Structure formats: C-alpha cells, structure tokens
Structure 1
Amino acid sequence: MNIAILCFGIASISSVSGIEKVFVDMANQFAQKGDTVYSVWNDEPGIAPYYSFLPQVRQINLGLGKIKAPMRYKILREVAKGLHLNITNYVDKYKTERLCQSIRNKIDISDIDIVVCYEFNSVMVANKLFNGKMPIVAMCHNSIESQIATLTPLQRKEASKVTIYQVLMPSFVNKARKLIDTKICYIPNVVKPVPDNETADLAADKKIYKITMIGRIDKNQKRPLIAIKSFLEIASRFRNWELHFYGPITDQQYKKEIDEYTRVYDIHHQVIYKGITNNPMNILHNTDIFAFPSAYEGFGLSLTEANSMGVPAIGFATAPAVNEIIKNNITGFLVEDEKEFTEKLAMLMENKVLRTQMGKAAHRAMDEYSPNIVWGKWSQLLNKLVTENKKGR
C-alpha cells in the first residue's frame, strides 16, 4: 500500500510538539510493516525533523517556507470575516494551489493508494489533488470545539468531502457528526507501554517529592499557572515537595506572568521551570503527581505518558479528552474549579497510599492505548478503504 501522509498545519517539523511526534510515529509504523510511505510537510528548506524518521520513509519537505498570499486576497478575507460573508477564502485557495503544485513536482500522485491528512490545511490540498478519486482520511488532533467547530460553513463543506474523519475520544464522534457530513471513526493515539517493574516508585520515601507538568507555556490551553498557584497556596505545608514544569514557551507574556507570580509567592523556591525535555519518560519516572490544568485537549499525550508510568493526575472535569482519560477517584482527580484543584492536590501530596493506589490504576488503564491495538485499528481502516476504492473503480 502506498500511503501519503500530509501535515501542513504545524509551525515547524523541528518542533517538539505532540502532532509532530504522532506524524513521525505513524510514518515509521507503516514503513516498518512494509508500506511505501510519503511523509509530506512544508517548512523552510533544510530544516531537520525533531523526531527521527526511519530511513525507508520517503521524507518530503516541500521547502516553500511561509507562503505569503497577495495582499488583495488578505483584504478580501478580512472583509468577509468582518461582514460574516460565506464566500471563498482566497488566501486558503492560493496557499492550497501552491502546495498542490509543489507536491505534483515531487511525487507521482497516481502511485498513491490513500491519503492521511493531519489537519484542515492538508484536507484542502488532498481534496484538490485527488478530486474524490482516492480515499482520504482526515485526522482531528485536538478537541472538536477547538478544531472542527471553528471551521466556517464553507470549510465544513470541504471537510465533508473526505472519506472519513478520525477523532481521538469516543465522545468526539457524535460531536463531529453534528458538524460535518461524512463518516466519523474513533481511533486514539498510541501510548507507549511501560513494564510493571519500570513504573514510578510512588511508595518510596524521598527527600524531595515532585509534581510535574509537561506542555507548552500557553495561557489559553495548557494554563500551567493554575497548577502553580494551587501548589504555592499549600507549599508552606509541604516543604519537601517541588513543582517542576517543562515545555516550549509559546506565550512570552504568559511566562513573564508566571515568573512574576513565583517571584512574589514562591518563598522557598519550590517551583522550577526546566525548559524543553528530550526524555519525558525519565522525568515521569521520578514524578509523584502529574498536574494537568489544560482547558481542552484532543488526547493529551503527556497525560497518558504519566499514567503509563504509573503516576496519578489532576485535571479539569470540563476539559474535553482530559475528562475521559482521567477516571475520577480511580486514576486521579477531575475537579470543577481552581479551589478544588488545590484541595485534591493537597490530598494526594499528604497521602502516599492514595497516590500509589491511583498510580497503579492509571498504569493499568493505559492498556487500551497499546501500539498493537491502536496501529491494528489504523491498518484495518486503511486496508478497508483502499480495498473498497479499488473495487469501485
């Protein structure tokens, strides 16, 4: 099977973010089992991927860099937005045509059996390239509210042209069906399993216990300051605890807000920003509680990695995906507000037996996301679509 995997909605292939990781992992998985895989993205020429592709993956950086549409198209787009006009977005159209032209110059598209699109930019490209003659699978890598619901009516019409949309949580299926008119399927992300004897030792006595956060330093979605405030509210009671947070700074002003807050309230210097990590599992192995104050997620890779390592988590009951991965009072806590976040954090910090018990339950709960199960679902889906397409010719 010849698979083209398109990913045009990322800042850079050199980024450490989750979508880039899944993009590379999927390409490697199918190449490893013998499929011909074209991984296609657009970045500045010569930019190296952060995550490593296998040698047999056909890596194609279109090398166009940031595509700048003519100013007249941008003006038309802004006028349409301001007047709420349901008309063609000529900026999208221009960029799509440039990407399609570049792909045709680098790949013989007649060789492709199926296309997997990582976001809506790729959907537009695939629809134009193949015009309904090839099965197209679109992926939704975040919550339905943050991705599909934000599409314009014309964009939803475009999204409805794909063969099937894949979503990451069971509850996302019905949400997506209300917004786009195509088939919807649920396939989660893979969570790398951790052997039972390699999980975090939460029962051990330690000089310093750690709360960890891993994610972008971002005010709207990841919201690390919520957990920092909760911890510092009770930190004087727990002098042998520290909160470590990791991730790229995508919101400089928000990072300054965090720095100023900790300067004033972190009296004993218990909150530490550790930058970007190359080895999250090693960090999680030395973690006692995982704080995950996101407003929404599509899946939450760092959350599931923490659970796989046997670390309980605290998240918000209102956060899509988070509220399905964390099993309340079993693998961690789902809270309604920041006050309850603080209360549940203190409860876990002072009760080693409870966090050990929840950590073991979290570790077992990740079995449903094992590579064999998830990649098996993907193989079954792609083979089915390719077979049906060939029969229909």
Structure 2
Amino acid sequence: MKILFVQHKGFINGSGGTEKICSFLANKLSDLGHTMVIATNENVDGKPVFPLNDNVLVTNIFDENISQIEPKKTYNYKGFNPVKWVSYKIEKKLTKRENKSLIKKNGGLDEIFKLNLQNRSKAWKSYIDSLNPDIIVTMSISSLLEITFGNEYQIPIVNSTNGRPDYDYSDILWHRSPFEMDLLKNAYQKLSGIQILFESYKDFLPNTYYGKSNVIPNPVPQCLDNKLVNHKISKNKYKIINIASLATDCKQQHLAIESFAAVSGKFPNWELHFFGVGNDFNFLNEKIKQLNLQDKIFLNGFTETPVSELRDSDIFIFPSKYEGFPLALTEAMSVGLPSLGFVTCSGVNELIKHEENGFLAKDTDELTIYLEKLMQDAELRHNLGQNAHVVMKKYTPETISIEWEHFLKSFVS
C-alpha cells in the first residue's frame, strides 16, 4: 500500500506525542513493506525530531503564494516584572486594534477562517491527486478538515485520534468559534474509519460520525525485567521526574513544583527534574527562583534519551489537566516507576490504577500527600512500580503496528 500520513502542522521540529506516533507508525509500516509518505503544510525551517527510515518521504507542501489573511498574535506576559507587564499590556492593546480593523475589512473571523482554509485545501487536493495514495491517515480532525474542505476523494481516509475525541471538535480545551466546531464535526462524515485510544473514548465521538472505529492504543517501549528501576538500593540523591512540553495550561508543571516545595524541607536528598521545552520555561524558572529552590528543582530541556532519564529516577509526577494516551507516562510505568496524576485527567485516569501502580489525586493537596507517601517509602515505590511495568507489557510496539496494518488493510480492496 502507498500510505499518506497528513499532519498539517506541528510535524516539523515537533517533539510531542502526535509527532512521535506519526514517526513510529511510518517507520513500522515501512518495515512491513508499505510505501510511506508524511505530508505537512508549515511555514518553518527544520526537520522531523524523531528518527525516520530512509525510505519514509516527508513532504512540506507550503507555498507562500497560497493566499492567507493572518491577524497578528497577541501574548500575555507570565513573568513577574511589573515594567514588562505594562509593556506587554500596551503592545497587546495596539495589536488588538490593528486586528479589529483587519477582521472588519474581511467580513469577520469566520469568513477569514473559511477563505484561508479554502485556499489551503485546494493546495492539498492538488498534492493528493498527484500522489494518488491507496489510503490517507490524518493525525487529527483538524488535518482531516484541511484536506477535505470543499473536496471529495475516492481514497479512504482514516483518522488517528491522539486525544479524547471531543477535544478535537469542541471548545473544551481552548476557544473555537461555533462555525469552526461545526466544520470539524461535519468533517467526520468524510472518514471511512477512526482509531481511538481507549474503549471509553467511543462515547465522545460526535453524532456526525458513521464509520468504523477501532481501539488501538499507543505503543510503549518495553523495558526488560532485569533493567527496571531498583527502588531497594540506597542513593545519595533521589529524583522525581516529569517529561512533557512546558505548557502549563495543559501539563501543569507549576503544580508539581508547588507539591514538591511543600515537602522538600523534609527530604534534603530529593530533587525534582523536568525534561521538555515550551513557551512556559521562563514562567516556571521564575517560580523556582521565587521559592529559592534552584538547587533542588531543574529545568533540563529536551532529552533524546527519555528512557535513560526515567531509569535514573524514582517517582514520575504527571499533573496534566488532560491527555490522550500519554507516552511519557507509559514509558515511566514500563521502567518500573510509580506515577502520580489527577483523577480528572483523561488518559492518565485510564492508565494509573489508584493504589495499584500509582496514585490519582483529586487536587494539589492530595497530590502533595501522595508524593510525600512515595518519597518516604521505598517498598511502596517498588511494589507500585513493578505493577506498572507488568501492565505496560500489553502495549508492545510490534503488537500495535500489526493492529494498525490490519485496520488500514480493511479499507483497501
């Protein structure tokens, strides 16, 4: 099969879960003998972050001649400098005034959205027709909308859902206009099939979807039984770890900092380490300085060896607000780390079983209580970590890639 993966933005230079899964699937399906193409449409320089087989083609269809009307972005200052706060406030006000004039001139935000989308979608139609793949896999419903708006294809299209489905077409997580949400919901009608991460996620598909759905979890790198974290050895330094993009509106690293700060005085040989990059680096760095914990809390940036960092740690803390099937959490569980998260967080509350392989907290106060409980009890860390490792064995990369191949083949005669 010639398989086209479409991730219309974020793939170039992207180090998140969607990019990781897209690269994984392209490599595995390539190994199984399929012709693999990944296509994006991004005005950026760079390259894919995750390794790809030499025979996986990556195409960026971006063309500066495709007309786009773009209001300027506005930014909120998240630091603690009052002068900078005032400066950002003034700049934001001026930008809003410019944008208001631009929006009025072009018939409103919905009209701008439609015109931009229409022009991009025409470019996608031309590219896909020339490629003529056997099947298309979109990496989000937004990517599906990008290629199908105003277009019809005889090629089957399957969507890979990397979060809870309603996150893709609603305004639960961030603002979407009613116009955009209607477009996204209606785009489901263009699908032949959809992959979801958990059985419970079927309840969150829109009533506009009539195709086939299949539960295929994300793959989890497997750790050998004799390579697990050893919680029974005494160490000079113990580590609590978080691996995620530095985006506090979702990943909420600031809550991990607050919980650790509340108990760190009792545990002088414990440290908190963050691995990841993102727009909230300065905000988190300022918070650490305010707490005077620069010698105990560290922002380490992106790591190319997450499993090694996890195996060198003792507790995985993951206070996200929402997730799909969090890869970093599953990797932590695979190496035998007990994990902490919130009971309200999708994905996390499917993987962490309370008091079996980790703890699910109702709020930050409970998160702090469970963190302290793990920090003071090596035997508890060992038992929960062992249970977590066993649970992850059902998500082997080989199993997941075969399930994907069977699912895609079912749409191609």
Question: Structure 2 length normalisation: TM-score?
Answer: 0.84
**Which of 218, 235, 242 lines up with 1:189 in the alignment?**
218
What is residue 55 of structure 2 aligned with on the other side?
A: 56
TM-superposed CA distance for 1:207, in Å, is: 0.5
Distance 1:125 1:378 in 2: 23
Listed as ranges, the gaps of 5+ residues in structure 1 are 388-393
What is residue 145 of structure 2 aligned with on the other side?
A: 124
Q: How does 1:39-118 map to 2 (within 5 A)?
A: 39-44=38-43, 47-64=46-63, 69-70=68-69, 79=108, 89-104=114-129, 107-109=130-132, 112-118=133-139
> Could you tell me whether the CA contact under 8 Å between 2:285 and 2:299 is conserved in 1?
no
What is residue 407 of structure 2 aligned with on the other side?
A: 381
Q: Which amino acid aligns with 2:381?
A: R
Paired residue secondary structure (1:372): helix
Distance 2:35 2:321 in 1: 38
Paired residue secondary structure (1:89): helix
Superposed CA offset, 1:139-159 (max 9, x none):
221233421334512321122
> Could you tell me whether the CA contact under 8 Å between 1:4 and 1:40 is conserved in 2?
yes
Distance 2:114 2:318 in 1: 36
**Per the alignment, do residues 78 and 53 of structure 1 end up closer, same or farther by CA in structure 2, a change over 3 Å counting?**
farther
Q: Which amino acid aligns with 1:162?
A: L
Distance 1:187 1:268 in 2: 41
Distance 1:159 1:74 in 2: 29
TM-superposed CA distance for 1:186, in Å, is: 1.5
Q: How does 1:1-393 map to 2 (within 5 A)?
A: 1-10=1-10, 12-44=11-43, 47-64=46-63, 69-70=68-69, 79=108, 89-104=114-129, 107-109=130-132, 112-127=133-148, 131-150=152-171, 152-178=181-207, 180-251=209-280, 255-267=281-293, 269-387=295-413
> Could you tell me whether the CA contact under 8 Å between 1:148 and 1:179 is conserved in 2?
no
RMSD: 2.5
TM-superposed CA distance for 1:361, in Å, is: 0.4
What is residue 98 of structure 2 aligned with on the other side?
A: none
Q: Which amino acid aligns with 2:131?
A: D
Distance 2:70 2:298 in 1: 44
Distance 1:79 1:42 in 2: 24
TM-superposed CA distance for 1:385, in Å, is: 1.1
Q: Which amino acid aligns with 1:298?
A: G
Distance 2:157 2:142 in 1: 13
TM-superposed CA distance for 1:130, in Å, is: 7.2
Q: Which amino acid aligns with 2:125?
A: C
Distance 2:318 2:218 in 1: 18
Structure 1, 40-49 or 362-371: larger mean CA deviation: 40-49
**Per the alignment, do residues 179 and 213 of structure 1 end up closer, same or farther by CA in structure 2, a change over 3 Å counting?**
farther
Q: Which amino acid aligns with 2:152?
A: N
Q: Which amino acid aligns with 2:200?
A: S
Paired residue secondary structure (2:298): strand
Listed as ranges, the gaps of 5+ residues in structure 2 are 72-101, 172-179
Superposed CA offset, 1:259-297 (max 9, x none):
232223235721111111111011001010000000000
Distance 1:54 1:201 in 2: 34
Distance 1:377 1:76 in 2: 50
Paired residue secondary structure (1:272): strand
Distance 2:166 2:401 in 1: 26
Superposed CA offset, 1:170-210 (max 9, x none):
21111115564433322111111111111111221100000
- Percent identity over the alignment is 28
Q: Which amino acid aligns with 1:93?
A: Q
Q: Which amino acid aligns with 1:131?
A: E
> Could you tell me whether the CA contact under 8 Å between 1:88 and 1:154 is conserved in 2?
no
**Per the alignment, do residues 113 and 285 of structure 1 end up closer, same or farther by CA in structure 2, a change over 3 Å counting?**
same
Q: Which amino acid aligns with 1:114?
A: I
TM-superposed CA distance for 1:368, in Å, is: 1.8
Paired residue secondary structure (2:263): helix
What is residue 391 of structure 1 aligned with on the other side?
A: none
What is residue 88 of structure 2 aligned with on the other side?
A: none
Paired residue secondary structure (2:328): helix
> Could you tell me whether the CA contact under 8 Å between 2:188 and 2:208 is conserved in 1?
no
TM-superposed CA distance for 1:64, in Å, is: 3.1
**Per the alignment, do residues 119 and 316 of structure 1 end up closer, same or farther by CA in structure 2, a change over 3 Å counting?**
same
**Per the alignment, do residues 68 and 225 of structure 1 end up closer, same or farther by CA in structure 2, a change over 3 Å counting?**
farther
Structure 1, 303-312 or 172-181: larger mean CA deviation: 172-181
> Could you tell me whether the CA contact under 8 Å between 2:256 and 2:319 is conserved in 1?
yes
Superposed CA offset, 1:309-339 (max 9, x none):
1111000000010100111111100110000
**Per the alignment, do residues 234 and 209 of structure 1 end up closer, same or farther by CA in structure 2, a change over 3 Å counting?**
same
Structure 1, 128-137 or 55-64: larger mean CA deviation: 128-137
**Per the alignment, do residues 305 and 67 of structure 1 end up closer, same or farther by CA in structure 2, a change over 3 Å counting?**
farther
Distance 2:67 2:267 in 1: 53
> Could you tell me whether the CA contact under 8 Å between 1:149 and 1:179 is conserved in 2?
no
Distance 1:94 1:76 in 2: 19
Q: Which amino acid aligns with 1:164?
A: G
Distance 1:278 1:80 in 2: 40
**Per the alignment, do residues 3 and 77 of structure 1 end up closer, same or farther by CA in structure 2, a change over 3 Å counting?**
farther
> Could you tell me whether the CA contact under 8 Å between 1:100 and 1:129 is conserved in 2?
no
Q: Which amino acid aligns with 2:386?
A: K
